[in-house]
Amino acid sequence: MSFTTIVKNEITNIESSNTEKIAELSAFVRSNIKYINHTIELSSENAKVAKRIYLLFKTLYGIDVSIEQKKLANFSKKKIFIITIDNKVDDILFDLSVLSSDGEFIDSPKDYILDSIEDKRAYLRGTFLSKGSINDPKTSQYHLEFGFDNKHESVFVQRILNEFDMNSKIITRESKYMVYIKEAERISDFLKIIGAYQAVLYYENIRIYKEQKNNTNRLNNCEQANMDKIIETCNNQLKDIELIEEKMGLDLLDEKTKEACLYRKKYPETSLSELSKIISMETNTNITKSGLNHRFRKIKEIANRIK
Q: What is the pLDDT of residue 108?
A: 87
Share of the chain above pLDDT 90, in %: 44
Among candidate residues 122, 128, 162, 166, the one with its CA nearest the CA of residue 148? 128
- pLDDT tens-digit map of 148-187: 988 999 999 999 999 999 999 999 988 899 999 999 899 9
Please check whether residues 264 and 152 belong to one and the same domain: no
Q: Is the pTM of this model over 0.85?
A: no
Please check whether residues 264 and 174 belong to one and the same domain: no
Q: What is the pLDDT of residue 138?
A: 85
From 138, 172, 195, give the residue that closes a domain. 195
Q: Which residue has the higher pLDDT, 24 or 238?
A: 24
Please check whether residues 22 and 139 belong to one and the same domain: yes
Q: Is residue 205 part of a domain?
A: no
Give the number of domains in the chain.
Answer: 2
Q: How many CA atoms lie within 13 A of 279 on its CB side?
A: 27
Angle at 15 between CA 54 and CA 154, to 5 degrees: 65
Please check whether residues 7 and 126 belong to one and the same domain: yes
Please check whether residues 260 and 144 belong to one and the same domain: no
Residue 21, beta-bridge partner list = none
> Lowest-confidence range among 207-211, 248-252, 277-281, 284-288?
207-211
Q: Is residue 109 part of a domain?
A: yes
Residue partners of 145: CB distance under 8 A and separation at least 6: 132, 133, 134, 178, 179, 180, 181
- pLDDT tens-digit map of 107-138: 889 999 999 999 999 999 999 999 999 999 88
Q: How far apart are CA 17 and CA 62, in angstroms?
A: 16
CATH of the domain at 43: 3.10.28.10
Q: What is the pLDDT of residue 74?
A: 60
Structural domain harbouring 79: 3-195
Q: How many CA atoms lie within 13 A of 137 on its CB side?
A: 22
Please check whether residues 30 and 121 belong to one and the same domain: yes
Please check whether residues 258 and 301 belong to one and the same domain: yes
User: 132 in helix, strand or coil?
Assistant: strand
- pLDDT tens-digit map of 67-95: 888 876 665 667 889 999 988 888 999 99
- pLDDT tens-digit map of 228-273: 788 888 888 888 888 888 888 888 888 888 888 888 888 888 888 8
Mode of pairing for the β-strands spanning 144-148 and 79-85: unpaired
Please check whether residues 95 and 238 belong to one and the same domain: no
Please check whether residues 294 and 165 belong to one and the same domain: no
Q: Is residue 221 part of a domain?
A: no
Say if residue 100's pLDDT is above 90: no
Among candidate residues 254, 252, 278, the one with its CA nearest the CA of residue 265? 278
Please check whether residues 100 and 143 belong to one and the same domain: yes
Alpha helices in the chain (DSSP H): 3-11, 18-30, 47-61, 89-95, 117-131, 151-163, 184-193, 197-247, 255-266, 272-283, 289-306
Q: How far apart are CA 133 and CA 49, in angstroms?
A: 14
